Amino acid sequence: MTGAPALSPALAQALATWLTHLRALDGAAANTLTAYGRDVSGFLGFLALHRGGPQGIAPLLDSGPADLRAWMAHERGRGLSARSLARALSAVKGFIAWAAEREGLADGAGATVLLSARAPKFRRKLPRPLTPEAAGDMIAAVGDNARDDWTGARDAAVLTLLYGCGLRISEALGLTGADYPLPQVLRITGKGGKTRIVPVLPVAQRAVAHYAALCPFEITRGEALFRGTRGGPLNPRLIARAMELARAGLGLPATATPHAMRHSFATHLLAAGGDLRAIQELLGHASLSTTQTYTAVDAARLMDIYENAHPRA
């Protein structure tokens, strides 16, 4: 926050130690740690400005509801959405709970007030999957639209992995030559260092093999499996651009992104009778509540079908 006093050395050290703790013991991803550090620093900086100077750990843990309400009002006033504020509050509460336990003040009045604070309500955005037909058309279109055969085969292979295996784009592009030829199952390390086993469909094996046969660069164990035109690792933005071009030709909405292919994988599995716990494992979700979002997607799709088939009088 502009103009906020610097954090006290004790708080700065505590924040650094907490982030190290999350990285080492909880396996938090780098992007998550960056977001948490930014959120907590913003809160601590606001608190210092609000109280007229840098605060130590004891004053932090003695903060009251008025301090928290002032911070939340400030964040909303600068345009932070309810969803982002809920995430920031979660990070702040996590840091305070850790600091309170570390200082032996877990039962302190201030810490109790802060930890009991409720996050602002927000409407969770539902994933926007493609239909099975649209997903297939998208894979074909990115291959047809490419300027040469090998990049078309490459883009189609990447999307086949997203839709056929439920991989994140970072996970697909994180594959190396050591993963080729694709086995029947892949060991994928996803967010937070969480490892999962993902079955590989024959169609995905064939798509990657077709790309590898056309790729002008040697597929070696220590190099990225998917390459850019200069031979370096493929930039995910190129896949996004290929999908932008393809969806324009197919008449698909802007929500038809690489991540929508992963959403489609989960939604179509659920619609076909897939077990929610099994889908959670395949996607690498840490929480079942994240996977349960797809039940709402499927329910919404069924209601659309129902209303179209049974229009109201």
Q: Which two tokens stand for residue 20?
A: 């190290």
Q: Which two tokens stand for residue 100?
A: 């309170």
Alpha helices in 103-167, H assignment, sequence order: 109-115, 132-145, 149-165
- 310 has catalytic annotation: no
- 191 has catalytic annotation: yes
- 210 has catalytic annotation: no
Options 50, 83, 87, 259, the catalytic residue: 259
Options 36, 163, 211, 294, the catalytic residue: 294
* Residues near 256 by beta carbon (within 8 Å), at least 6 away in sequence: 128, 130, 134, 138, 243, 247, 250
Task: Name the strand (E) or helix (H) holding 208.
Answer: helix 202-214
- 50 has catalytic annotation: no
Options 50, 191, 196, 301, the catalytic residue: 191
Give the DSSP letter of residue 124.
Answer: P
- 227 has catalytic annotation: no
Options 93, 210, 263, 285, the catalytic residue: 285
Options 262, 263, 277, 312, the catalytic residue: 262
In angstroms, the first-to-last Cα distance of the chain is: 56
- 125 has catalytic annotation: no
Options 168, 210, 227, 247, the catalytic residue: 168
Q: How far apart are CA 261 and CA 132, in angstroms?
A: 10
Residues labelled as active-site residues: 168, 191, 259, 262, 285, 294
